[in-house]
Each structure stands twice: as structure tokens, then as C-alpha cells.
Structure 1
Amino acid sequence: MPPPPPKKGLKATVHKVFILDAQGGYAGEYSPDEGCMVEFGQFLAAVPKDGLADGQTIFLAEWRATAINGDRMSLVVISKGQLGPEEVGWAKAALVAAEAQLTQPVTDETPVSLPGPDKAVMENLASALQKREAAVAEREQTTKDAEARSVTAWNDYRQQFENELATLRQRMAEAEKERDLVARELEAERGRMRAETQTIAQPAKIPLTPAPPQVDPKVDAMRAQTEKDRKYLQKYALDLLAREEKAQQLELASEAVHEKLVAAEKEIESLRVKLAEAITQASKPTPEMDAQRRELDMRVRILQDKAMDLLAREEKLRERETKLRELMKQIS
């Protein structure tokens, strides 16, 4: 086998190599990079109808697939970056050397024999199918877990919303009770003020008597009582003014409670709109879930195609064995 090409000026990085048999069927793969997600089915889907010539490259998204054809085997190199002439030449030489080691040349001394089933190829294909099936099952489980987490998150969000809504309703009920209480107190205070105002507006009638020529002690006492009553009425009027101011404050408090109720109603309406939007969004599948489902469907189709290809190859091998037995019977 020739030495590998020099590493100076590397133009590409090899991430996976597909091995094909003489008929172009899948015979195995080698993955230097386990993170490379390119599958053989994706490569087959991108191959043009005329096939790939030796050294021809096609694009698979960010990857490049370069065909290197030999006499009895072929390689498909998945890389990032364009393979240079040195890399292609080295891979070609390695393929020729591998063919020389894996196949026996036909000479006059060796009898002609039809190729039998390659056990290693069959094992590689079965292993690849098992790996793909495990990968698909893992992705399905990941999708189920993601859906379960989405349902749990949605239930938590809905429960939180219902709790907040119940709290707001309780606050509204308490605010309404407080508003009714303030209104009753205000009405009672106004009634008392009206009654007291009417009482003040109707002063007691003092009988008019002609002034005696001399100062009567009773008159002095009456004057003193009148002065005392006047001061009391002044004080009472100031008290009424203070109570009127308190009534105004109660009215302002009632208006503030009303504003709180209006704000709470607006907040409830906003939460209802958010809940409707959340329900609408939850009913629609997310782009990530659609992409995962499409990828799972594609992988399942690839797995089915490879399984059908395996069955077809097994059928061809049986036909070859039958022909070989008939040929051996004719020779014997």
C-alpha cells in the first residue's frame, strides 16, 4: 500500500467513507468522525440518474461526496472541503492495493469460480441496519420525551394561570366588599351631617322680654349660657368641617378601589388573551418537532430501502449458488 499523501496544504477533512461492491451496493463504511450524520440513503437520494464518474463530487448540504471507482470496488468519501489531486490519487492507490489483497487474480492454474456470498459484507450490512434501527429508536424516544416535557410544561403553565386567575378573583371580591363598606360609611356620614346641619339651622327661640331697668342676675346667667352655646356651636361647626373632609377622603378611597377593580378586570382580560394564544400555539406542532418527524421518516425509509436491498442481494446470491451447483454438476 502506498504511503499517505503529505499533510502540507490539506484541503479537506474526511469524516466518513462508504465502501461499495462491484454492483454499486452498500458493502460497509468507515467513520473517522462519529458525529457525521450523513447516511448512505442520503447519498443515494442525491446521486444523479447517470451515476457518478471517477473523481466526481456532489454536495450533501455542508458535506461533499466524492466517488473513487476501482475495478471491483468503489469508495465514496464524505468530506468537508474539496479533495485535492494528492488525496484522490492516494485514495485511488489505496483502493487498488485493497482490491489486490481482497481478490484473487484469475490465472490458468486457478479455476474460474463465481463469487459467493461475502460474509464480512453481510455482517457489516446487518450491523449497519442494527445501528440505524437503534438510532431511529433513540430519536423516537427523544421525541416522545420532548412531547412529554411539552405536555408537562403546558399543564404547569395552565395550573399557574388558573391559580393567578383565582387570586385575582379573590382580590376583586375583597375590593368589592371594601367598596360597599366605604359606600355605606359615606352614606351614613352624610346622613349624620345633614341631620346636624338641620339642627344648627333651627336655633332655639328665646322669648323677648323688655329689658328691666335694672340688671337681673338671671339675664347675666342667660348671656353667659348663650356665649357658651355660641362657642360650642363654633367648635361643632369645625368638627363638621373635619368630618366633611373625612367624607371626601372616603370618596377618594372609593374611587381608588374602583380604579383597582378596573385594572384587575383588564389584567384578567389580558390573561385570557394570553391563555387563548398559548392554547393556539400548543395546538400547532413546532418546527423542531416537524423536523424531527421528517428526519425520523427519512431514516425509516432509508432503513427499509437498505433492508430491501439486502433481501435483493441475498436473492442474487442464491441464484449464483444455484448456477454454481448446476455448473459443478455439468463439470462432474
Structure 2
Amino acid sequence: MSGILMAAPLKKVARAQLKKIYVLDERGEMAGEYILDSDCPIDYNDFLKVLPDEGIGDRDSLFVGEYVFTAFQSGKFAFVLLSRGQLAPEDVNWTALLLTAADSHLAAATSRPAPARAAEPKPDVDKGLAERDARLQAKEKSLAELDAKLKADAANLSGRQEELDRQKARLAALADYSTQLQDAVSKGASRSAKTLEIAEQLAASSNEDSKKAESKASSDARQAFEQERKALVAAKTDLETRYQEASARIAQLEKEAKESLALLEKERVDATARAAEEDKTRREIESRVADLSQRFTSMAKERLVASHRPPGEVSEEVRKAMEGEKAELARERKFLQRRAIELLDREERVRDREARVEERDREFGRREQDLTSREQDLDRQRTLLAQAKPQAPEVRAEPDEAKKDIERRVKIIQQKALELL
């Protein structure tokens, strides 16, 4: 029961019942106890729980539910009365007289150590019976569970027995099968031994045949290798011959290119000189044409003046001058015609030379294509040789140098052809 400090009792009873008396010494510790009702659930510890820090005064009360702790002082002892309901003042006084009379007896009791805790009350009879019934029911339940468990174990044991019987039957069948298997293995071992003997005999006979076949195969392989080597040597010789031919052809083309360059340079110089001469001739023609124009203008003026004169007044000198002018004009006309014919002839020759230059350019292009095709042919031959058999480093280095030389010369020829264009 939880202790609650209250200012007034929760319930008034007709008459208070004294349950216990606690005797406290000068230090406030319990020196003795009088139990009037052993079934009372309240003890000294409940008093300590509700006791305030400042203590309790004389004839003051502390309430724990319907139980009341009442304290009073008598000499050097203090008494705490535990009652069910609050005691009347006369009850407290009467109890105080009785306790004072027993003061001498209590003084001797102070030499004994105080009990640490009051005796626990006895359990209630009804409560004990209920607990006993609960225990009996729990035991019956546990017995029922044990019975069910025993039945389950019995069923499990029977199932295991059946499984053991099946395992025994399976083991017996397995033993029979192993016996049959051992017989079959022994028979197979005897047959394999016989087969091994036959195989050894066949291997001995086949070794001789294989040696003969290997010697023949090695001789065939040697002959094939020798033929391949000869073919490679012939291909190498052919490649060297083609390389020499290509080198000679390149040298010839370079020589022809040099000659063509020299000829083109000469023709370019001649063309420059002719152009200068033509320019000079053109200027002369233009000057003469201008002179003739002036003469024609003067002659036209004179004719105009002569036309206004009466007929018969033209002098001999004027006539001679006019005839001289006509003759001079005829000579100039012939000279201009001759110069025009020369210019046309020169233009025709220039066009012929340009056509020849274009023809040479085309010839250079054809030669370049020929060189390119030959170079590709050399590359194909070199690839075939490399696929047939790897050559030594010095043999491979020579065609590579030749290829680089050919490429370098082709580039030079191309540059020269571009310069000619």
C-alpha cells in the first residue's frame, strides 16, 4: 500500500483500533515494538516513508490511507501509535499512562539492538488457497503438455523406425548391386588386359610403319623447302633486274627532263625576244599609222581647198606633191600589210610552240603514270616475296632504299614538270 501524507483522514470510523506501538529512543531509532494485530499490512517502514524531514511533534498525526500514525513524548522515550482510524484524545492519554508504567521495562530493552525491519504479516488464507489452485492448474496444464509431447515423441519414434526399415532395405539392395558391379568390373578388367596386349602389339607394328612414313615425309619436306628457296632466289634476281631497269629508266627520264627544260628555257628566251621585237614593231606601226592619219588629214584639207578652186588653176607643184603623197601612202600600205603578215606568222608559230609544250606536258604525265605503275608493281613483288619467306635484314634494306630513291626522283620530276607549266 502506497503511503500518502494527508491533512485529514479519508474516512471516519466509529472507534479507532490500535494495531501497533513503536518505541523510539533518544536518537529517534526504533527501540521496541508491540504488535497488537499481526494481520495489519502497515509497518514501521511506511512510517519512515511519510515522516517529513523536520520530524513530527507531540500528539501530531500522519495518515496513510485509513491508518494513522500518532506520536507523543513520555520521558526519554517517544511512542508512535499505529491505529486504524484516528484515536481519541482519551485513548491516547490512557495508552500513555500504560506505556509510562512500563518505562522501566522499556529502559532495559534499549540495550538490545533494534530490529532492522518489522515482521512481515502472514499471508491471507483465501489468497493462499487461490495461489494453490493456480499452482494446481499450472501443474495440470504442464502434465497435459507433457502427455502431448510424449505422444508426439512416440509418433516420431515410429516414423524413425519405419525410415530405418526402409534404409535397411535400400542398403541390402545396394549391397547386391555392388556385388554385381564388382563382378562386372573384374570381367571388364580381364577384357581390358587382353585389349592392352593387343594394343601393344599393334603399337609395336605401327612404330616401324611410322618411322618409314616419317623418313619419306621429311625427304618430301626437304625437297619442297629447296624448291621454295630456289623460287625465292629467282624472285629476288627478277626484282633486282627490274630495279636496275627502273633505275636506268629514271636516269633516262631525268636526262630527257633536263633536255626539255633547257629547250623550254631557250624557247622562253626566244619568245621573250620575239615579244620585245613585236612590241617594237607594233609601236612603229602605230607611229606610222598616226603619221599616215596626219597626212590623210592634210591631203583631205588640200583636196577640200582644191575643190573650191576653179578648174584649171591646180599648179604643177601641187599635182606632183599629191602624186608623191599617193606613192608614199602606197608604200606605207604595203609595209603595213607585210608587217601584219609577219605578226600573224609569228602568232601561228607561238601557238604551235604552245601546242608542243602541252604535248610534252602530257608526255611527262604519261611517264609519271608509267613510273607509278612500275613502282606499284615493285611493291607487289616485294609483298609477295615478304609473304613467301622473310628475308635477311640486308636484303630487305636494299629494296627499301631503292623505293625511297624512286620516290625522291619522282617528286623531283613532278616539281620540274610543275615549273614547266
TM range (shorter): 0.3 to 0.5
Of Structure 1 and Structure 2, the greater helix share is in 2
Structure number with larger C-alpha Rg: 2
TM-score, normalisation: structure 1: 0.38
TM-score, normalisation: structure 2: 0.31
